Structure 1
Amino acid sequence: MVEDEYIGIDIGGTTINLGVIQNNRVTKTDAVLVRKDATKGETLQSLYQLIRENLTNRVVGIGVGVPAVVDPVSGIVYDVQNINDWDEVALKMLLELEFSLPVYINNDANCFALGEFMYGENNQSKQFVGLSLGTGLGMGIVIDNMLYNGVLCGAGEIGMLAYKDSIVEHYTGSFFFTKYYNVSAKDLAALAEKGDEKALKAFYDYGIHLAEAIKSILYMFAPDKIMLGGSISQAYPLFKESMLEGLKSFAYQKQIENLIIDVSKTKGSALLGAASLCLQNK
């Protein structure tokens, strides 16, 4: 018997990533670049073409993670970050009309968290948080085995909280490195690996700021596991020590004695999570 396939899509500001999922694993990946000067229609056509090139008669559903406020019932996405003219797009309706398949939409950080929760290694967590450390700081929450969306999938926008002279994600995303060090996180990580003192200090400071964000999460949700993903998480050894140092000032140390903070090792977490939206709605 041939297993059904699902398509999981992770829409980013520069790239749209796609995965074909069969039997709970990513069997194929593909991607298309998003042009900054593209119109709404041009970006949609790029998305359509990406799906067409990976569509088979075994695909029974499409799940999409979007960096935006999302109505998961209507499938309308609002104010999509870093994509031109995507201020209000009826994405579910458009994709269902184009491909005659059921489509489910959610926030991209929620999809990452769901993918990690469902398919991550040795995961017995009940109160789970996924943190995506990238351009900004994305967060998804699983409470008692259920993804918690809030209104319009807006729960978990930890990056938008006021912090210092700005907001949290300006100190915990790639903004931090480019603004305060004028170097990308990737380039600073390479320098830090070689022992560059300025780069090492940058990641030390980053860990302290991330600890402040994590303390806010602990006070609000008290998770037993926090999984880190996104490009900056690959530099975890460079900021782990200062992050843990920052957590020593958390008021309820007993609460976090068994807290697990780790870096994702799951291939295609966001794609698996997006595809899982289909399974949850079967």
Structure 2
Amino acid sequence: MDKKILGVDIGGTKIQLGIVEDSKIIKEIKFPTLSGASKEDIIQNLIRGIESLGNESFQGIGIGVPGLVDENNGIVYDLLNISSWKEVHLKKQLEEHFHIPVRITNDANVFAIGEKIFGKGSNYKNLIGITMGTGFGTGIIANHRLYSGSFSSAGELGSIPYLGKTIEDYCSGKFFKNQYGLKGANVFKDAEKGEKYALKILEEFGEHLGNAINHILYILSPEAILLGGSVSKSFKFFEAGMLHAIKDFPFKRVTDQLVIEPSDMENISILGAAALIISESKEYNTNNSNQNPILP
């Protein structure tokens, strides 16, 4: 598991690449996505970025994207904020160019598998990773394996109806903007100063998140839930409200053993993408010998 792996995070505005070796990022670059360009131009831009890292030999390339993915065939569909990427056979094109394995999944899944292999989730059999930033994403680790469902869309809990809107509207950065006309970062800064209005808003946010977690507990009953994304940095301010919402969950044995913590990992998008390759390695699956590989 100490061979070099390339982790790739494709976002709507930028692409980040990182060489991962021995669980560390040893080299990293980022460049604009060219989101308004043609499908092929964006792919060629990505290839040039990979080649700019030098004449490296990689075990494989792992990629996270904000959209739907046919993981078996590595086809990306309807990528968020990149209008030309309606159907992109990315795995095929990259494997034909670089002649190494390529694995692709949704970016929320990347967070979950990254925490499982590199972060706080390593000791848990059943784990949920929640990302809270501009949106609300959920990745599922079940029986030590990433469960991604059809088109890597399992765990799209943010779309569940809630209080006339959706869970995402109340459990992401959208909450601060839509409910209070504020930026989440400013609310956090004022909470750090002890401003009562900010503390109250974050406690309310925690109540909504706790209600969302109750949905997760009913459906998946994990041992641990790890929180990532920009909003998770306010954990100490919304934790009490979150726990207050969870305290009435009827199955106390479930909540008594439940661990909920913010992630402390930097560059999780790159490490998690690399984890897609590690999860298929012989060494990893020998250590988890009762399990199948995390991805097909």
TM-score (norm 2): 0.88
Which residue in the other structure is 2:242 paired with? 243
Distance across 2 between alignment mates of 1:211 and 1:114: 23
Residue 122 (structure 1) shift: 7.2
Larger mean Cα displacement after TM superposition, 203-212 or 77-86: 77-86
Distance change (3 Å), C-alpha of 1:35 and 1:204: farther
Residue 36 of structure 1, CA deviation: 5.0
Inter-partner Cα distance in structure 1 for 2:37 and 2:180: 31
Report the identity percentage: 38
Contact 1:9 1:16 in 2 (8 A): yes
Name the counterpart of 1:96: 95
Partner amino acid for 2:269?
A: A
Tell me, yes or no, if the aligned pair for 1:15 and 1:32 is still in contact at 8 Å.
yes
Match of 1:176 in 2: 175
Q: How many residues align?
A: 280
> What does the per-residue CA deviation read over 1:184-216, in whole Å, with 9 as the maximum and x for residues that have no partner?
211221122122333222212211111111110
- 1:113 matched to 2:112? The reply is yes
Aligned twin of 1:279: 278
Alignment check: 8 A CA contact 1:113 1:270 kept: no
The CA deviation at 1:115 is: 0.8
* 1:163 to 1:198, Cα distance in 2 relative to 1, 3 A: same
Which residue of structure 2 aligns with residue 53 of structure 1? 52
RMSD between superposed Cα atoms in Å: 1.8
Contact 1:138 1:159 in 2 (8 A): yes
- Normalising by structure 1, we get a TM-score of 0.92
**Unpaired segments of 5 or more residues in structure 1?**
none
Q: What's the CA shift string for 1:27-70, capped at 9, x where partnerless?
A: 22222233554443443333223222224332231110111111
Q: Distance in 1 between matches of 2:182 and 2:167?
A: 19
Q: Give the aligned partner of residue 167 of structure 1.
A: 166
Secondary structure of 2:92's partner? Answer: helix
Please name the residue that 2:264 is paired with. Answer: 265
Cα distance in 1 between the residues matched to 2:94 and 2:53: 14
- The aligned residue for residue 202 of structure 2 is 203
The 2-side partners of 1:277 and 1:123 are apart by 14
- Range with greater deviation from structure 2 (130-139 or 83-92): 83-92
Which letter does structure 2 place at the counterpart of 1:245? H
